[in-house]
Amino acid sequence: MDTTISDDEFIETVVSSAKREVHELAEEHIIFPGPDPQILIHIWHENDFYFGGTSERSYRPRGDIRADDLTPVKQWLIMELFDFLRLSWHLEDIGIAFRRLAPAPNWSQDHKTGELLHEGSSTGIIANDSSHVAANLPWFLKHSPERLFKIAHIESTKEVCQALFGMPRIPFA
């Protein structure tokens, strides 16, 4: 395994920027409080897959995303914390959390398997279609996790939307 979760500097930077502390629940399974301290965010590695998910006051996470690489889980993490990070930095909340965005161009989901597809091709990323993840995540998958982190720091809401969505507003469904 090339990447370990427990010592990933990017994850540590994002979580500490949100004024949260990472706790190792088990080998290759970390948790930390989300924007709502009663909701725990989990990132773990199991059976050759990386997962990201949440749980409400328990250590049994709901898997929102599964991928064979840690990068999409990092993109999911930024998506989950995007508005909270902006508020932590005293920047305007752009209101993307828990809202259904319009589908990202060229992205779809196989509703039988949950896999996200780009231009009809397999991505290997399985998203929970009963949550906002399947609708919102493709917008975030267009950018590296590091780029997403930089976008979150942009002060102008219009510039944030332009950088994230390619338009100066949030693309609502």
What count of other Cβ atoms lies within 10 Å of the Cβ of residue 71?
15
Residue 87 vs residue 58, higher pLDDT? 87
HSE (side-chain half, CA atoms, 13 Å) at 43: 30
| CA–CA distances in Å: residue 26 to residues 14, 23, 41, 70, 164 | 20, 9, 14, 17, 34
**pTM for the structure as a whole:** 0.93
pLDDT tens by residue, 9-58? 999 999 999 999 999 988 899 999 999 989 999 999 999 999 999 998 77
Predicted pLDDT at 163: 97
Assess whether pLDDT exceeds 60 at residue 63: yes
